[in-house]
A and B are shown apart, each in its own frame.
Chain A
Amino acid sequence: MNTTLNRKAILIATLVSVLVIATVFYGSRKLQNFDPALIGYLFGTVFAFFGIVYRYSVWLQRPPTWMYFKRTWQFVFKGQVFAHLYFFIKEFIQNIGFQKFIYPRGRSRWIGHFLMAVGCTMAFAITFPLTFGWIHFTLNPETSLNPDSVRMYEAHFFGFKVFEFPLGSFIAFFTFHALNWCSWLVIIGVLIFMRRRLTHAGLISIQSFDGDLLPLILLLAISITGLGLTYDYQFMKGMAYDFMAVTHAVTVIMFLIWIPFGKFFHIIQRPAQIGAHIYKREGIKRGMAVCPHTGKEFATQMHIDDLKTVTKELGFDFTRADGTSHLDLSPEGKRSRLGMAHLKARQQDGGKLFG
């Protein structure tokens, strides 16, 4: 196992982490709006950013990944920018927003994943800016001093007031409990997936505790301890609130620092799927490869040519004596050629059935 640290990745990750810290400093108006109670979450988030960018940078350096990354951006920036942008947005909504590709794999699977994804994404969108001090809330001083007026609550983004709402209103209830709604979505999604993972024989045989069950347990722990905070101050008069707060913080910080190493990294990898779709779409425009064995089109010529380059970079050489490549064949062609080679070997041996 190669345990050497990747210098390029360390440099990029460090730069991004410094950038995050700078945006926290200036986004919170020189820490004026930063909530010191969230310092632990901030450290966890900065570490997560470092780890994610590090792993992403190492991942991009692998020849096949780099080929897709390079090609995708070449297409996006070499003409038809708006056509690519439209395709990207459409794909992002369908495949990242709604995870369309999971539905054919199973309805309950899609429902569970969609609920977890929506819950987690909403929670990220709320907690990251809160932790960074980009969002903060204040009570409107005029309404708070006047006993006859409805007290108004103000939301600020980067120090600018963006909207206000009356305390005790439906909007207030909905906003203050936003993370609770996220928790419920995640809990339902996790339970659907836990049921699958505990009852499906195929999954049981190949799943691992840290790779597949622990992520679900962690999401469940975050959601339940998060709901516990509200439960504590609503129904327990705030008793043992410190314990509840610390328990929740521990689960969230564990989640954050684990993102780069475990299953949650697929959240960061998934947009690459759109790159693969752009690659295929662009390749079709440039022409298809025809299998010399079947005579049928089977992939884009660009894909086959790039694969020849990538396999060579990885140390594989499928070049034949006549200068063509085994990779010029379609999967069906390859299977037939293997069968033909076997038949040839049998014929050379006299052509009889050997037992």
Chain B
Amino acid sequence: MRNILTTSLITHAARPDFAFLTGDLGFGALEPLRGVAGDRFINCGIAEQNMISVASGLGRLGFAPWVYSIAPFIYARPLEQIRNDVCLHRLPVCLIGNGGGYGYGVMGATHHALEDYGILCTLQGMRAYIPAFAPDVTAAIGRILAAREPAYLRLGRDELPSGADLPPYSPWRRLLAGGGGTMVIVGPLAGGILAVARELPAEARPSVWILCELPVRMEEIPELFLAELRSSRRLLVVEEHVAAGGAGQMLLHGLALRGEVPPRFEHRFARGYPSGLYGSQDFHRKECGLDPGSVLAGFRG
């Protein structure tokens, strides 16, 4: 998704409030943006705390800065700067984290971001945008610009299956209708699950929804989703994030407040490193039961 990030941001680079900061990362992807943005592309060096404070200073002067690093580095080290400098002042600073979840695979645990949006969504005014597929990135950027609030854009690998009919971006979208329960997926792993689920008979497969923005806003939950849930009485949330503070907990909390909790709730989430071994993103997903086969087999069972 980095390439579409670059091309999308280039279309906004002439805005007077544009500024892009990187923590010395983005090699091989951000160069075209650097070429266009000129002195508004600032390499802040390997110093994430300062980078967030600088972005906040820019935000105070009317800029809407984009602040880039890989996902594990953008939210944890500078968390206090995000809380105090950005969120307490509700500044329009957008953090961009590339490679959310197990995205950096065999690079190891220090390079994974398994609790990023959960932590960030505890902060005042922060909204996380988690595109499921590459085309979502452009739309998410547009919504971030319109919102002018603290934001986190979590990028990953584009896994949109060929031939998929992707509805226009919105926080909630149904990708597939089915009669075998209701499934909500957060992030790019939706692609692999969709590819397998769509081959199943309609009555046997779940209805597949993707959720791209957190925290869950109750008013944004589609009536169609609630109607399906009342009928299926079974909800599975799948996310490449730990359970604590994740989309599953947020959604269940929201449904409970509305008195819409289904009788059966299941949650597939990142479990860390069950074997203590490291591998690709797919290796870690499989260890956590997040691979398409495990997700769908478990749901059918």
Q: Do A and B interact with each other, yes or no?
A: no
